[in-house]
Chain A
């Protein structure tokens, strides 16, 4: 298994540009999520999905859109990039047990380092 893959690894954007960060997993996990990591802030949840066709907002959703058309893919879209969105972005997934996904560990991708000028 490739696990959780993210592309691109690095990206530089100008303010106002749009782009999509790709995330895919081959573990048939129902739960997928996007985090951003900033120095001294830890990981903050942007959006998450409990299954295909279902998405919900996390702690810091403004400026980001997501969709979940398949179990495998969970792209994150920046519609109009801003310097405040300079960060490292991580995608994660986890499987579902009888208690749902609440007690299951997440598997993280390698991250995308985004700089917005």
Chain B
């Protein structure tokens, strides 16, 4: 069975500092990995995905994520946080084979403090 773990319920960071939101996954084969962001009272918005190729994936709003197969991780990063980055972030995984649907983590709330 596939699963996603986001070990931190809450991450606090000062504006201008780098941020990291952690994600680890478990699949039987190789993964497709996604990050989504949810602003208050809104639906989820796609940020970036890893399908194949370069382990460093760049996405929207200056975010990037690094795929690490040996550590089964896909941490979300940004070099300089903005107050407007404050939101709920979800990691999601899907096995590239089989017919299993996308599985989401429980989410990490990011607060960027001015």
Using CB atoms and an 8 Å cutoff, list the residues of chain A in contact with chain B.
4, 33, 35, 40-45, 48, 58, 90, 92, 99, 102-103, 105-111
Contact = CB atoms under 8 A, between A and B. Distances in A.
Interface of B: 9, 32, 34, 36, 41-46, 49, 51, 90, 94, 96, 101-107
Given A4-B43, A102-B32, 12 more contacts: A40-B106, A41-B106, A43-B44, A45-B101, A58-B101, A92-B43, A103-B32, A103-B94, A105-B34, A105-B49, A108-B45, A111-B43
Contact of B43 (A40, A45, A110): A110
Contact of B44 (A58, A90, A103): A90
B40 to A, nearest CB: 11
Contacts of B42: 110-111
Contacts of A109: 43
Nearest to B35: A105
A48 B101 CA distance: 9
B106 A45 contact: no
Contacts of A35: 104
Closest 4 CB pairs of A and B: A108-B43, A42-B106, A105-B46, A43-B104
B43 A90 contact: yes
